[in-house]
Every structure is written in C-alpha cells, then in structure tokens.
Structure 1
Amino acid sequence: MTTSPLERAAESFAAELARHRTGRRLSKKQLATLMGFDPSYVSHVEGRRHRPTEDFARRAEAVLDAGGAIWQRFREYDQLRQARANPTPREPAAPGQWLPPGTGLLVERETATLTLLDDAYRCEVRRQLWNAGTEPVTRYLVRVAVDRWPDDPGRSNRHHREHPLTFAELQFRALRDDGGTRDAMHWRVRHDRDAYKEIWLLFENADGPFPLHPGERAEVEYAYRVGREKWGPWFQRAVRLPTRHLAVRLDVPAALDPRVWGVETSLSADEGPLRTPIRRHDRGDRAIFDWSTDDPPLNTRYRLQWRFRRELPDATRPAVGGRPADRRRDLGVLPRDAEALRRPARPFDLPRDEPAAREVVDRLTGLLDRADELHPFHAGLGLAAPQLGIDAAAAVVRPADRAAPPVVLLNPRVVDTSPDTDEQYEGCLSYVDHRGLVPRPLRIDVEHARWDGSRVITSFAHGMARLVAHEVDHLEGRLWTDRMTPGVPLVPVEEYPGP
C-alpha cells in the first residue's frame, strides 16, 4: 500500500517523538503529564491515530529538549498539510526557530541584576522581546521565588510558612519600553504561595491596551525587593522562552568578602558547573559579578551561588543612633510612655483579615532580625504590633535557640498558668535602657488563632513562657514593669548583671 508524503511526514514526527521520549526514559503517561495533555492523546499521536498539532509539537519539543528535532519534523508535516489545503502556504515567522506553547515570543536579550542593599535584595530584570508569532501578545508571565536555605528544604518550608513572601514587601513594578516611550504595565496575580509568586504582566495600563503585535519588539522591565531574612544565597534564571542572550549580575558589598560560583542543570542533564566563567570587577565599595551566555537551551536553569566570608559590617547597615534609646527610636519602636502601649490591641477577624495579619507579622519579623543591634538578647526576644503603633493583636517571639522557628501569636489569650513561678530579669525594646526583675509563671497555656481563623492552645514553659507572657501583656495594654514587685528598682542596662 502506497503512503502519501503527508502520511510519511506524520509517521516521521511520531517516530521522532517516540525516540526522544524513550531516550528520556519517560512513559507516555509521564510525558503527557509534563506536557499538560491527556495520556491517551500522546498514545494516539505515537500510534498515528491522531495527527500532531502545532501546540502539541511545541510542548513536546520543550519538555523533551530535543534540540529542535521534533519541531523540524512538525514543520515538514505542517508544510505538506498546508500545501494540500492552501496553495499559498504560511511562512514561519522565525525561520529555524521553534516557539514554545501558546506564544510566539522570543527573548532577544535578558539582563537580570540582583543587588544586596542594607536589609534587602533588589532584583531587576530587563527583557527585550520580539513577537515572532502570528498573534498579538497581551500578557507575559513572570515568576518570583525565594528559598532561604536551598540545601535544607524542610527548614526553608517551615521558615516561609511562618514568614511568607508578601506582595506588600515586594513593591513590584513593571514598565514597557518600545523605543523611547516607557509605559507602566498593569499586572495580575496568577499564583500566590508562601515562597513563590506568578504574575501576569499585562500589556495595558490606565491609558488603555498596547499589545505587542506580530513583528514588533519591546523591552519589558520589572523589579521587586525581598528582605534578607527570606532570600537565600542563590540567584536562579530559568530559560522558558527561546533566548538569544542571557546576562546575570550580582552586586554586593565588597566588605563581605564574597565567594561566588555557578551551576547549571536541565531536564536532560544533571547539575554541573557553568560553561562560561563568572567575571568579577570592583566598583568603589561594591563587588560586581557578571556572567552571560548565548543561545541557552530551553528549560535550562542557571544559578549563581555565593558565600560571604565576613559578616555585614555596621557601615553597610542602616544608620542608627549611638544610645540604645536613639537606636530604638530609629527602628520605629514606640517608647514606654506611648499611649498606644496602654490600649488593648484590636483582634483580627480571621480568615477575612489574613492578608493584613500576614503583613503585620512580616513587619514584626523583619524588625526582630535587626533588633540585635540594640542588645544581644541571648534569652530570646519578642515584638508586639502595638510597639510599632499598629493596632492589631499580633506578636512574634524568637526563641533563645536561633535554629528554632519564631512563634507567631494572633489574637492570643492566656487560659491557664502554673502555680510555680520564678523571678528573672526582663527587658523590652520599648524600655531598652533598663532591666528589671519580674515574677512569671513557669508554664502558661495560650489560646491563639491560626491563619484560617481556627484556634489552638499551646503550652509554653520556662524561658518561652516568660517571653510569650511578656508579649501577651503588650497586646492587653500592660508593660512588664506592671508585673514587678513594688519597691524593686530598675537596673540601668549598663549595670545589668546578665548577658
């Protein structure tokens, strides 16, 4: 039986697909899952019962990283199919280039810069886009991900559950530059997770839409900030669109004595070193590390990693006053005589108020990381929202064990205490110049809310009981000095006998 050229081209496509799938040791079901197709469809295409579509071919090429072979077989088939249906076949928009699913976008140049500031990392990405497809582009997907400890996923997951990435802290912004005109871009959230965000950049703003039409070019720029306590020692770029040039820059204080290296990985290759070197040059008190590559394969991931061999010196931290009270004020913590510290805090209505509660907790956590500038609180440290002038029943307590996750208290109330007490020195960021002996129960049971509004009772003992009781007092409008035995004097911090 004689087969037509079109049938032979379809068979060649199916054979190429099967060869790369088996080479990757993927079952048809596994490939279908990665491509976002029903498993039966992949089986039917390989069995020649279904003809390949453009979308199917693009996805298969991207997932199997076939170097263009699958796409080439599809182009041969599609040209024959169009020749039969249309005497004037459509020319491909970008000869020799296959395009990813659902878009005709090419990245002609990407430049990504990560800068370490005083208390945050700032990321800025510029991409020069070319619409090499046949349809206008109206949106563009970007991703923001953090991983505090990439070599310890469990620890990172716990950390980001307690301190989720928020859009309020990102201060996300996006612009489009089409060659002289810079227009702000509206954006819309696609996915919002504790350590991961997906954002649609929209080719529109308050003045109306400005889609990227076929054949047009434009530069898209977006930027965001992430606190140092959430960003781990790595910066990754993933190639999700055909890209002709990729450049990455890391800008950090030279005083940190940084050591920087890089790795790359893909769907078909294990992790290995970057194939091109990272170049360092110093500019004033900054160390600049540059790396670039041409024509990176699709689905390849490049990661710069680093280690600081020195701690961040005081000169690179935000300027604070010399006396503890001055430094407390510069951090934004209210003094002991502030009226806000004497009012019971407003409880959250959870889960309705969850976004606001997370923002408050995130701010408290960030300030706790800087509070050691005032005094090394070796016994642990806490901070309540009223101390920042925020009328909200939220507090965060950092245990003495720095490896332990902070405790988040929402709408807490003490429901039981032990009869046994002890008397220990306490301090407070709102009362930072003095310490005092305060009697507290050795155990307290606290009922507090979860993010979803459910309530749980947690028991705290010894040092943590003292820390938690101190913060619950703040949320009820009491200070630790109210708990002191009458006649017991305060001790100036310079004469404080403890660590």
Structure 2
Amino acid sequence: MHHVEQSIAFVLDRPEGERVGLAFLVGERMMLTCAHVVNAALGRAPRQSEPVAKSTRIRLHFALLGPANSWIERSAEVAAWLPTGEDFDVEDVAVLRLGETVSSSGAVPLRIGAHLKSRHDTLVQMWGPGHGRTLGRHVQGRLLGAVGKHRLQVDEVVHRVFRVQPGFSGGPVWEPSTSAVLGMLQAITTDDSAEVLVLDGTLLERALAATATTRPGLTLLHDHGEVHYDGTHYTLRQRRILLHGGGTPRAKYEIKVSVARFLNDEAVRNLRHHAKHPLSVGNPVRDIDLHAWCVLDVEVLRMDVKATKVRHEEITFDLCFPGDQLLTPGRQATIDYQYRVSDQMWGQWYKRNIKPNTDRLSVEAHLPTELEPECWGVTSLPSETSLEPLTGVQVRVEGDHTVYSWDRTAEEESLAEERRIRLDWFFWQRIPDSAEAEDAASVMRQFGILQVRDPARGREQSNLPAKTRSIDFRSENDRLLAQRILAHLRRVAGWVNRYHAFRPEVGMGIAAPQLGMAYAIAIVKVPDSTDYLELVNPVVADQSEQEARDFEGCLSFFDVRGIVKRPWGLRVRYQNGFGETRDDELTGGLARSVAHEIDHLNGKIYSDTDRMPEDESPIDMHQYRQLRAEHRINMPTPPAHLTWRAERNHHHPAR
C-alpha cells in the first residue's frame, strides 16, 4: 500500500521558511490545502477571503521524498480559491498547481472519498509536524458528528491533549486500512481551547472543479460508478459531477441502462436470454426501479425519470431537472441515480464507457466477503477486442463486503473516449469441484478464459484472436504491458490449478489470446515443478523428425480431450518478461505444451485439421476417464536420439 505521507508537503512562509501548514497531492500537479494556510504563508490576515493572484507562488517541501534528510522543494501557484467572505471556515479550501510533477520521486496522488456524513464513527489517521528532530508524526482519531455544513469533528480525545496543532491544517484525513482520503484537516486554536475539524470530500471536489478548463458542452468532472451485490441482486449507483461549458441550457440529462448476462463473444446468447428476461419499467418483477437526484447550488432535488426507448436489454431515460430549474452555461450539477436488477439479468462484471470530456473516472465493486470473491480489471475498445489488464485496482474490506476499486484522473492516465473500463469477478464459494462439474466451460468463462463454441473437426474460425501483436521491448509502454499480462496469466493459471488438480507431469499453459488479449505472450507450467516458462514473441526455430501421438486438453474447451501428433522436440526462440532473448531445446511434454500455446498465438487450436490425425476426433471427459481407467492411455516412449529437420536439410533455423 502507498504511504500517504509521501504525498504530503509542508507549506512554508515567505520570510523565514517556517512550516505553516500542509498540502497534499490529488493529481499529477494538483494539490489541496486550507485557504488560511495560504494566507499564513503569504503573511495575510488568517481569514482574508480576497483571492490570491494566480502569479503568486507558494513554497512547498515534500518531507518524505528523496534521500534521507533531503527534502524535495517545489513551488505552486494558487489555481482555485473557494472563500467568498460569506463563511470562510466552511469554504477554507485552496487548490495549488505545481510547476513540475513529483511522480518520478515516488509521490502518488491521493484519492478523495465520499461524503464524511456517511463516515460517522470511522477511525482515521492524520500526519503533521513533529517536535525537535522528529520530522513528522501520526495522530489517530475518530470522526464524530457534523459541525455545520461540510464539516465534521474529530474525536475529542485528540484535541483535548493538544496532539493536533495548527501545523496540521491542510493535511489529509484518511482511513489507515485503505489510504482513502475522507477529507482535509482544519486545526483551529484559540487561547484556551482547540478545535479539530474535517472538511468533507464534497467540498474538496467542488474546489477541484473550479480548476477545470471550460470546454464546449458538458464536462464530466467526476464519473463515479458502484455496483453492490447482496447475493441475489445488484444495485447500481452512478454519480456524475457535470459542468456546463456553454451552449443551450439543459432541462434534462440522458442516460442509458443496459444489462448483459453473458460476457465477451456471447452476443447471440445474450439476445436470446434477454428476449426471455427483458428489462421493463412497469413490471414489478423486472422493473429496474430507477431513482435520480441532483444537486444544484448545494440544494438536493429529486429528478423526474422518463423512459424514452425500451429494448429487451437496454432502456434510455431522460433525467429531468425539477420545476423550472435548468443547467445553464457555467453552472455545475451533481447527478446521482441508482437502480436494482437481479443476477438473472446482470453478469459478474461492471463496465463503464469513458464519455467525452471526462476529467476523472472511478469504479467500485462491493462483493460479499463470505462468497470469497476474486476480482480483476481489464480495459478494451468498444468491440471488446484487444483487452489489456487494468492497472491500479485496489482492494479493501468494508464490513461484510470486499471492495475493489479503480480511480484515475485525465492528467494521470489517458481517459481516451471510446475506451472501456471493466471489473470482472467470480465467487469461489460458487465454483463447483472439478470432479463434480458437468460444465467446466462455464467455470473457465468465469476465470475470463474465452471458450471455443465448437472444437469439432472442420470447424470455422475460432473466437480466439487470430492475430497477435509482438511486444517491442524497446518501448517502455510495451515492457510494462508485458509485465502486466504475464502477471495476469499467472493469476488465472493459479485459479485453474486451484479448480483442477493436474497431474505433476502435465505442463499446463495459457496464452494471452485465450483471455482476449491479442499479444504474443504465453506461459507454460514446467512439468514436475511450480515454475512457469514465460514466452514472449516465441517462434519455433527447429523441430525434431521424431513425432509422438498423445492426448491434449485445452482451457478454451476444457470438457473434451483429443489426440494430437506433435514433434518430440522443439527448438524455441523467445524473450522472457525482462526482454532477454532465449534459445531453448525442449522435449517431451514440455515441448508439446509450448507448441500448443504457440498455436494459440497464431489463432489455432489442437482440433484443427493440420493438428489432429484424420482418424481422430475430440472425446468427452467421460470417455477419456474410462480409457485411463482401462489403462488404454500410455505415455509416449521417448526416442533414443533426436534428429532435427534443419540439421538434416543443412540450413539455418527459420527466423
């Protein structure tokens, strides 16, 4: 877990360079602090509400970055100023913009959490200046009730013993278990007492919104989605902070609710399923019961909901602003809506399309811990092709649910339009024992492994990606991508090994195309070992004259086995996960497994006519187990000596 303190900086005053408060990183270059801290740094009156000139620079020292006892110093301009003079204490927020980033030194932007009002009685942690040689210190507390608008009080034990001092102002208040920032600290002292208050996340988001560049149409300052599962139903909650950048005033906001029971390549199956189980807006059983609210000028209002287009698996709604309220140019609105559907309608994933002009996108899946959830993230194009592992998925436990989350701003990561972000999951408590499962393919699908519809002879093109892209290790992006894909392949292989006990001599493998990732990457478990061979950009340089017939299985059609004729030996040229080139001579079961995975990288499966002998066809697992019980399946006998084709023909191996 990231150390929150590395993203906190001391705010220094101008004449003496004394610490007057804190600021913390919330984007590549954006930081939050208290307005009264900025006033102190500039020598102004503590509660002066007049905005600071944008050309004014604020000195910052990142205390825990860089070598020991060597602070990293930066300066920042005031990018947004909330105090208006009406209620300085509540609007005590300023946004700073760094001149250059500190990400290369290890600072990671912190994530702002939900309304503090929903965090009552939560244990929190704070960090601030120490005494003497102590650079900084931690203080623990507990959130209490609200103090006016947008503020909560911290456990009275903390301020009674004066552990929190004025120098803590502007620092984050976070949950120790998750590092999620719940608000910003205000340390207010008088001659005979001290008050420790927390400004909530809603106010902080409003301050960040003030820095947004005005763009035509709607800007999505923050698009946040959550899915909550109770064991039978999913509740979907969506929260969008909008900024109208110009044009015609808007009386409504259009949303689309769509469901899919099956994932990836099963569009036809989805259509048939939802024709029998359609969405509706009037049926008590299938009604999604959509509710929506908006916040305009800090007032919470109920929105009218009107269905405009109803299909079996998709309904379009207009969310209408109440009465004569309009979203006019320059105005900001927060829209919240939620609905509930059964798991008969919704599958085990949550997908968000990145909309135009999105500044920040976050998703969460709240899954019952007792069901032993496994969750991971992928990103894709609208066609659901070219899947890639999603980096930065975080996990935490809240009560009886395990929460998986992903959160990014546009300046941290390219939130390109038309891209899709997806969280996938399954539950171990609902995965049957492999010896009892009659449909192993459904289990493999839950692991994210694409399934071949019909592996019989003479099949048409499989639904696995037919073409894969090589990894260019000269590119930093490709190097990181290779590491992410290899890590995910190992994760999935671990699930498969937990589900099915493979014999020690079997070299189980998995290729990236089987997970919908069209890259030339695969892993193969070394027989009689726990190690995996990492194959990046593999090619067969040579193969032996001697061949062997043996049964093979495939994770993409796990319910059958088939006889395949393959060379006994292979010479394979490939790169490992670090880009180091290897030339290995492989024999026996390992050579067979590697050849099997390389086939997948070329869009082939073992039942293809050029792989399986003409007199053979795949057999189901019942027949296969019967043959093994009758000892009619024998291990191929290794040849005494291997003859290589390239050596016989006196030419160099193919490259």
| Higher RCO (C-alpha under 8 Å, 6+ residues apart) | 1
Name the one with the larger helix percent.
1
Same fold (TM over 0.5): no
Question: TM-score, with normalisation over the residues of structure 1?
Answer: 0.42
